[in-house]
Structure 1
Amino acid sequence: MEFAAAAHAFTDHLERVRRLAPATVRAYRSDLRDLASAIGERTLEEITLETLRDWLWHATQRGDARSTLARRAAAARSFFTWAHEQELIAHDPSLRLVAPKRGRTLPTIASQDAMTALLEAQRTAASAGEPTALRDHAMLELLYGAGIRVSELCGLDVDDVDLDRGTARVLGKGSKERVVPFGRPAREAIGAYLTRGRSALLARAARPSPALYLGSRGGRIGPRAVYSLVAEVLAPFVGADTVGPHALRHTAATHLLAGGAHLRAVQEILGHASLGTTLIYTHVSAERLTATYRLAHPRA
C-alpha cells in the first residue's frame, strides 16, 4: 500500500474515531508528511527500522529540537502500530525505534505577588466599564482562577458557567468534559462582564452567539486574541519576551501545590490524563523553594 494513502487513513482514524484534538491531528499529519518526503517512492512494506533511524538522523542534522525528534518518533510508532493492527504490514518496523529524551524545561510562572498586581491592574482598568476591558479582566481571572487551557476558555458558552456555585464546565483534550471551580474574584469579574460588557459586544455581531467571551466584532473570541492579551499584560511580570495563556495555567497549578493542594486534586482540576504530567509542578515548587533558601539562609 502507498504510504500517503495509509497516512491519510491513519489521521482520519485519529480525527473521527479517537477524536483527538485538531492540533494533535495536525502534528501527526505534519510528522508523517515529513517522513513521506524522506522515504520517497518506497511502499509501507519497504520501510525498515533503518529507514526510520535515517529519517531521525537527518532531522538531527538539520537542527530539529530534541522535543521535535521525540514527537516524530512517537508519531511513527503510533502510525506503524495502527498499520500493523489493520494488517497493512506484516511486521512493525518501529518497535525498536527510539529518539533522544526530551530535555526537561520548567514552565514559565509568575509569583503570587505578581499575579495580585496584574489582576488588580486589570480590575482597575475594567472599573470604567469599557466592554473589552471588562471581558479581558474576566478572561484573565478565569484563566488563572481555574487553570484552564486557552482552547477551553474560548469554547465556553454562557450556560457553561455557574456563578452561584463558582464552577465552569469545560471541554478538554479528547473531548473530555470536566467541571472546574473558580473563586470569588473570577465570579465577580465574570458577573460584571455579563452585566455590563457582553451585551455591548454582542450588539456588534451579525447574529447572536452563545459564547461567553466575545471578540471585538461580537463573535466567539479566538485563541490568537487571548494570546495577544496575555503576552501584553503578563510578559513584564515574568521577565519573558514570549509568554502565552499556558503560563497562567502553569502559575495556577504551581500556586495550588504551594498552598497545600493534593497532587491528585490538581491533576483533576487541570484535566491531565496522566499524573506524570502534573508532577512537573512539584519540580517547579522545589526549585523555587531552593532558590529562596539560597537567597535567605546564611549557611546556604
Structure 2
Amino acid sequence: MQSGGFAVKREYAEACPPLLKDFLYYMETIRGRSPRTVDGYFIDLRTFLRYIKAVKVLGLREFDLSEITIDDLDSSVICGVTLSDIYGYLNFTLTERDNSAVTRARKVSSIRSFYKYITTKTDLLEVSPAKELDLPAIRNSLPKFLSLEESLDLLQTVAAAQNPRDFCMITFLINCGMRVSELVGLNLSDLRKKEKTLRLLGKGNKERIIYVNEACLQAMEAYEPVRAKILSDRHRTNEPALFLSERGSRISARRVEQILEKYLAAAGLSGRGYSPHKLRHTAATLMYQYGGADVRVLKEILGHENLSTTEIYTHVSSQQIERAIDSSPLAKVKAPKSQEDSKE
C-alpha cells in the first residue's frame, strides 16, 4: 500500500480538536480508509466545525470560515450539535457557497460517519443528531466514459510517446477497471504472470484477485526493464512498488492524474471531464457492451460492495439505441405520397 496517509500529516493533527483527530485516526487505521478518503473527511468536517464554532460559540452572523480555528473546540460543543444546526450548515453551504447536491451529499455522509463514531465508539453521546438526516436528492446520471474509438486513440497516443511505464499504467486502468488508488498501491509481487492474475487492495483494505489480459502482460513486459533501470540508477533494489516515479519511489495518485491529462490533451480528448476514474468507468462499460460481461462478474472485477452500484453499467449507449430503432422490421416502410405529389 502507498505510504503517507493521515498519520504523517502533522498539520492535520494540529488543526483538529481531539475528537475529530481520534475519528480520523480510527477511519484510517481501524476502518482502513484510504489517505484520500481521510483527507476528504478532514476537509468536510473542518468546514462543518468551523461553522458550528462561528455560530454556536462565537455568535457570529457574518464570518470567513478560513479564519476560524477549531483546535480548541470542546467535545461538549461537538456533542451539543442538533439536527437544526446541521440543517443550518447545509443551508449555508447552499446559499453562501453554492455547493452542488453531490457536494452537499458528501458533506452529509461525512457528518453522519463522524457522529456514528462518537455514538458507537465513545461514551460522549447516546444518539446521533445526524441519525434522521437524509441525503440531498441527487439527479441520477450515467457514468462518463471514453468510447471505444477514443480509448484506442488514447492508447495509440501513449504508445507513440514511447514511455513504457505510462503505457503500462494506462493499459492497466483502461483494461482492468481498477481505482487509481489501487494502481499506485500495487507491488511487483501482486502480479502473477503465470496465473495471469493481479492482487488488488481496494476500499477498506478488501483484497480481490482479478485476471489480466494479454495487453496488460505485454505492457508489463515492456515496463519491467525500465523499472529495473530506475531502481539500479537510484540504488534502491528493495522498493516493492510496481509503478515508480522518476526518483525511484512509489508514484502518487496525483502524478498519475497529471500524466493522463497530458496524454488526453495530446490525443485531442482534453476538456471532456476524463480522469483516471473515468478510465475505470470506460473499462467496465467496454466489458459490458463488447465483452458481454454479466453484471455480477463486473461487480467482482470492480470490487463493488453492492450489486446496485454495478448496475449503472447496464445502461445502453445512444449508438445501441439507434441500432435497435433502425433494426425494427417497420423501419423501411415508406410514407405514402400526398395527393399534391400525385397530381404532379
User: Does 2:140 align with 1:110?
Assistant: no
Aligned partners of 1:147, 1:103: CA distance in 2, in Å?
A: 24
Aligned partners of 1:267, 1:203: CA distance in 2, in Å?
A: 39
Partner of 1:53: 87
Aligned partners of 2:30, 2:228: CA distance in 1, in Å?
A: 38
Q: How big is each residue's C-alpha offset from its partner over 1:8-67, in whole Å with a ceiling of 9 and x where there is no partner?
A: 222222122212111112212222211211222371343211111101111111201111
Structure 1 pair 45–223 and aligned structure 2 pair: CA distance change class (3 A): closer
TM-score with structure 1 length normalisation? 0.86
Classify the secondary structure of the residue corresponding to 1:204: helix
Partner of 1:180: 210
User: Does 2:21 align with 1:8?
Assistant: yes
Partner of 1:27: 40
Partner of 1:217: 247
Structure 1 pair 280–238 and aligned structure 2 pair: CA distance change class (3 A): farther
Assess if the C-alpha contact under 8 Å between 1:110 and 1:238 holds in 2: no
Aligned partners of 1:81, 1:217: CA distance in 2, in Å?
A: 41
Structure 1 pair 55–117 and aligned structure 2 pair: CA distance change class (3 A): closer
Number of equivalences: 289
Compare 104-113 and 52-61 and name the one that shifted more: 104-113
RMSD: 2.5
- How far did 1:187 drift? 0.8
Assess if the C-alpha contact under 8 Å between 2:145 and 2:274 holds in 1: no
Assess if the C-alpha contact under 8 Å between 2:261 and 2:270 holds in 1: no
Assess if the C-alpha contact under 8 Å between 1:66 and 1:101 holds in 2: yes
Larger-gyration structure (1/2): 2
Aligned partners of 1:19, 1:98: CA distance in 2, in Å?
A: 25
Partner of 1:64: 99
Amino acid at match of 2:33: L
Aligned partners of 1:159, 1:90: CA distance in 2, in Å?
A: 46
Partner of 2:275: 244
Counterpart of 1:200 (choices 229, 240, 244) is: 229
Classify the secondary structure of the residue corresponding to 2:128: coil
**Which ranges in structure 1 are unaligned for 5 or more consecutive residues?**
127-132
Assess if the C-alpha contact under 8 Å between 1:109 and 1:238 holds in 2: no
Assess if the C-alpha contact under 8 Å between 2:197 and 2:209 holds in 1: yes
Structure 1 pair 108–91 and aligned structure 2 pair: CA distance change class (3 A): closer
Partner of 2:78: 44
Q: Which residues in structure 2 correspond to 1:147-162 (within 5 Å)?
A: 147-162=177-192
Structure 1 pair 211–90 and aligned structure 2 pair: CA distance change class (3 A): closer
Assess if the C-alpha contact under 8 Å between 1:205 and 1:219 holds in 2: no
Amino acid at match of 2:246: S
Aligned partners of 1:288, 1:53: CA distance in 2, in Å?
A: 43
Aligned partners of 1:215, 1:13: CA distance in 2, in Å?
A: 30
Assess if the C-alpha contact under 8 Å between 2:196 and 2:211 holds in 1: yes
Aligned partners of 2:269, 2:23: CA distance in 1, in Å?
A: 41
Partner of 1:129: none
Amino acid at match of 2:306: S
